Structure 1
Amino acid sequence: MDNVLGPDLISDLPQSIIEIILTKLPIRDAVRTSILSSKWRYRWATLTHLVFDDKCVTLSHDKALVENNVAKFITRLLFLHNGPIHKFMLSTSYLQSSPDMDQWLLFLSRKDIKELVLELGEGEWFRAPSCLFACRKLTRLELVRCELDLPPTFKGFMCLKYLNLQQVLIAPDAIECLISSCPLLESLTLSYFDSLALTIHAPNLKYLCLEGEFKDICLENTPHLVAISIAMYMTDDIAEHFEQSSSCNFDKFLGGVSCLERLIGHIYFTKYLSIGNSDLGKLPITYHRLKLIELYQVSFEDMKEILVVLRLIVNSPNLQELHISGSSNSIVAAEAPDLDFWESESLSDSGFTFGKLKIAKITDMSGVPHEMEFIKFILGKSPVLEIMSVAPGVYVTDGRLNMLIELVRFRRASAKAEIIFIQD
């Protein structure tokens, strides 16, 4: 790029602009710019964002060779690097428990690292060294497939705002300690955890995503939560634990999240919330900010689960979008005891309406009585409803026409409400 024909406009750009350009390149190409000219020889060496993946070296069918080359490339780059490193991301299917990892993390702990993402390949899990906890300025930590032990001297990540742990082996008391030791934590993701009973203390938490086999979840100090996504998987041990539980899971999990705006509950979530609930009742809080509710695999053969759904939506006056997915055993649910519940005083009160609800999606339906009564209830209490989308389950072949005929007969509080019956 030393050009006698004219000025080198790119090389004369401010260092901050050049760093942005280099950051947009794959790390391998960013390092290669060192051969362009003497001005560019060490420009890459001051990059504050380092992102490594399988493409940072030439790939081959020899996995051991690739693993060795990736380790050498990262080690050499860190050895030549000059200045702070704010972000270090490693996503590779080749590196597993490499001894070089300990040295890299020790090096990064002295470089004011702020964002650390480690996503390693299948095989032997990486055991995080204690120097990881010396990264005092971390604001983001993502770990996939590793073992984590909190050292006795750990005082917390005082700056951490984003924590994502997937397939991480860590003791239950240690994970609770880790969460509570991050006073600025705003986003928490825990995925693929087994038989975990979890109590969360996180006063600044806004976003929570949980996926795994959870025996119990208690949100004790999360007043600023705005979004929750949760998927609970059931084992025989957890099912037995559910049956023996006498506490009110609804109140433990949702009793203190008055700022909630989005709630997405996947498999077994409503089953979990239904433990300990016996009636519709008056909640201690109203979800004034809750605008979106998605609940999947709700069993309409279980009155407790129906009550959970109603408890949520009736206490969400500003709800705008509702998505309910059914999972009823059509034979059992067809017996439909307690149908007079839908005519009870608590539900038939003429003063109550869903004043903001515009979109309702009801999917995987069997057309059993309680499901149809639920749809009838939503249609009759939603004066501004625009779309009611209903989709039978793929296993439902008989009775679709009868379901559609019954739907169009229901009274609609909204003159604009359109019923869309999805056949696919």
Structure 2
Amino acid sequence: MKMAKNLKSEGRNGTKKLFWMKLTNMAKPHERFWQFTQFALYLVSNVLYSFVGNKMHGEDYITDLPESIIETILTKLPLRDAVRTSVLSSKWRYKWATLTELEFNDTCVSVSHIHSSALAAAKLVKFVNQFLLLHDGPINRFTIYSSYLQRFPYLDQWLLFLSRKDVQELNIGFCQGDWFRAPSCLFSCKKLTALELVRCVLHPPLYFKGFPNLKHLTLQQVHITRDAVENLISSCTLLESLTLLYFDSRKLTIRAPNLTCLVLEGEFKDICLENTPMLAVISVAMYINDDIAQHYDQSSSCNFDQFLGGVPSIQRLTGHGFFTKYMSIGNTLGEIQPTYRQLKVIDLYQVSFDNLKEIMVILRLLLSAPNLQVLQIGGSADASLATDAVDLDFWDKECPRDATFEQLKSVKMTQMLGLPHEMRFIEFLLGNSPVLELMDIAQNVHDETDENHDQSEMYTEILGFETASAEVVIEFTENYV
């Protein structure tokens, strides 16, 4: 508020600064492209206005713009509009043909009078072909996302063209029709530093030895064998960020010595992290079917050690779906060492507080992370779980009551039902966190008039718990589900 007030007092200049502040800082990442585009169009329209207004005086501002400004304007425009700037002046003609970052999508063609997706696809293919034919110079980034394209015979020639341009970033995704098969020339793009494929069939050739410069890899809904994806990951020795979405590999071993960020979502029986000493950020969403559930019931290995045993540098851990259940298999508290000294943030969701094994996973993480600062736990939203709990004596007999969380400052508990184990866990945190500043508890309420759900009783009990921190603020909210 203070910043906004100061900017407002500066008049027009302040307004411009505030616009840029909102544009670059407040927008969500996926909104920034369109905001920059709108600003670029605004800038071009003002330039054109000046051009028309000053032509009578023999001045041509648009032609006299510095090369750097012209390039900046072109990079902020959709490619279709960038091509149209050729009519502005001779200096602008074919300037778009030297762009190094190309993003093709459905907006590249006008479909206001087209009622056939096949015709729209044909127009898009023609636009891309003509653009690449006239392009002059290097291409650092090539992106194509489309809902029109359903068959992909032209993709081979595009990628062959790009491989000869030493493309560094490649993003390809189609949301209609068949999944596209990655052509063999893709594996000749040795300068790639970032690769994203969506709805793709990927079969690396036998001679493929990895992308030597690849640092960022995203595969979403990609058909690839377990051996192929494991070899792809391990052969890209500079890989820093790996994202596998809607990925059903069942068993997966990741070996990546420079990996710092890992995002997984899909159906997995086992995930093993080996040789990942730099891994700092992990986000996993796990789903199960009957086959995987049976595997969990029969498994005897310790998934906690298998998954987190090779990540001593972890700083943030996020788990969704059945992640906590997966981690609970074979896990025991035992003698816990402060293994994860850099772990500062833990976010776990869909935790079943009627399952003591899942609670023990959370406790083991807490006890292994002496510098933890932020903890967020989301419980199960199933009200049918609100039954009499068993093993409540665990908190008195086995839970380490002398544990102290010296750095924990913020705890947020969501989807709470007031289950006995939930209450004991909250009591445990409040009593062992001496610098805790905020305990935020969101309770599930199934109806605003639900008389069977007495929130005040739960709140009164929590407010009666002893707190190790004199500064802690306990807040209550209600989620109507």
TM (normalized to structure 2)?
0.84
Deviation at 1:412, TM superposition (A): 0.9
C-alpha distance in structure 1 between counterparts of 2:99 and 2:294, whole Å: 53
Change (3 A) 1:329 1:30: closer
2:84 is aligned with 1:32: yes
Q: 1:126 aligns with which of 180, 193, 199?
A: 180
2:392 is aligned with 1:342: no
Q: 2:350 aligns with which of 283, 294, 297?
A: 297
C-alpha distance in structure 1 between counterparts of 2:381 and 2:89, whole Å: 69
User: Contact 2:338 / 2:370 at 8 angstroms: preserved in 1?
Assistant: no
C-alpha distance in structure 1 between counterparts of 2:283 and 2:120, whole Å: 37
SS at match of 1:106: helix
Change (3 A) 1:372 1:165: same
Change (3 A) 1:364 1:271: same
1:418 corresponding residue in structure 2? 473
Deviation at 1:97, TM superposition (A): 2.5
SS at match of 1:166: strand
Change (3 A) 1:157 1:12: farther
1:53 corresponding residue in structure 2? 105
Deviation at 1:316, TM superposition (A): 1.2
2:243 corresponding residue in structure 1? 189
Deviation at 1:30, TM superposition (A): 0.7
2:383 is aligned with 1:320: no
> Match of 2:457, as an amino acid?
N
2:411 is aligned with 1:356: no
User: Contact 1:86 / 1:114 at 8 angstroms: preserved in 2?
Assistant: yes
> Match of 2:409, as an amino acid?
K
Unaligned stretches of 5+ residues in structure 1: none
SS at match of 2:478: coil
C-alpha distance in structure 2 between counterparts of 1:159 and 1:282, whole Å: 42
1:64 corresponding residue in structure 2? 118
2:169 corresponding residue in structure 1? 115
Q: 1:258 aligns with which of 307, 312, 319?
A: 312
Please give the residue correspondences for 1:15-414 in structure 2 after superposition, counting only pairs within 5 Å. 15-59=67-111, 60-277=114-331, 279-283=332-336, 286-327=339-380, 334-344=387-397, 347-349=400-402, 352-395=403-446, 397=450, 398-414=453-469
**Higher-RCO chain (CA-CA 8 Å, sequence separation at least 6):** 1
Deviation at 1:7, TM superposition (A): 5.4
The answer to which of 250-259 and 336-345 deviates more is 336-345
SS at match of 1:308: helix
The answer to which of 133-142 and 57-66 deviates more is 57-66
Deviation at 1:387, TM superposition (A): 1.3
C-alpha distance in structure 1 between counterparts of 2:216 and 2:69, whole Å: 27
Deviation at 1:20, TM superposition (A): 2.2
SS at match of 2:219: strand
User: Contact 1:390 / 1:422 at 8 angstroms: preserved in 2?
Assistant: yes
Deviation at 1:401, TM superposition (A): 2.4
User: Contact 2:256 / 2:276 at 8 angstroms: preserved in 1?
Assistant: yes
Q: Which has the higher helix share?
A: 2
Deviation at 1:129, TM superposition (A): 0.2
C-alpha distance in structure 2 between counterparts of 1:355 and 1:86, whole Å: 47
User: Contact 1:258 / 1:285 at 8 angstroms: preserved in 2?
Assistant: no
C-alpha distance in structure 1 between counterparts of 2:384 and 2:443, whole Å: 15
Change (3 A) 1:285 1:394: same
The answer to which of 209-218 and 399-408 deviates more is 399-408
User: Contact 1:390 / 1:420 at 8 angstroms: preserved in 2?
Assistant: yes
User: Could you report, residue by residue, the CA deviation over 1:104-144 in whole angstroms, capped at 9, with x for unpaired residues?
Assistant: 00100000100101111222111110000101000110111
User: Could you report, residue by residue, the CA deviation over 1:25-52 in whole angstroms, capped at 9, with x for unpaired residues?
Assistant: 1101111112222222221111101111
RMSD: 1.9
SS at match of 2:400: helix
Unaligned stretches of 5+ residues in structure 2: 1-50
The answer to which of 185-194 and 352-361 deviates more is 352-361
User: Could you report, residue by residue, the CA deviation over 1:206-232 in whole angstroms, capped at 9, with x for unpaired residues?
Assistant: 111111111110001111111111100
Aligned residues: 421
SS at match of 2:250: strand
Deviation at 1:423, TM superposition (A): 2.2
Change (3 A) 1:29 1:223: same
User: Contact 1:245 / 1:275 at 8 angstroms: preserved in 2?
Assistant: yes
User: Could you report, residue by residue, the CA deviation over 1:338-394 in whole angstroms, capped at 9, with x for unpaired residues?
Assistant: 222212365112xx3111211111111121211100000000011111111111223
Change (3 A) 1:157 1:385: same
SS at match of 1:193: coil
Over the matched positions of the two proteins, sequence identity in percent amounts to: 60
Change (3 A) 1:196 1:221: same
SS at match of 2:248: strand
C-alpha distance in structure 2 between counterparts of 1:33 and 1:293, whole Å: 50
Change (3 A) 1:403 1:412: same
User: Contact 2:225 / 2:249 at 8 angstroms: preserved in 1?
Assistant: no
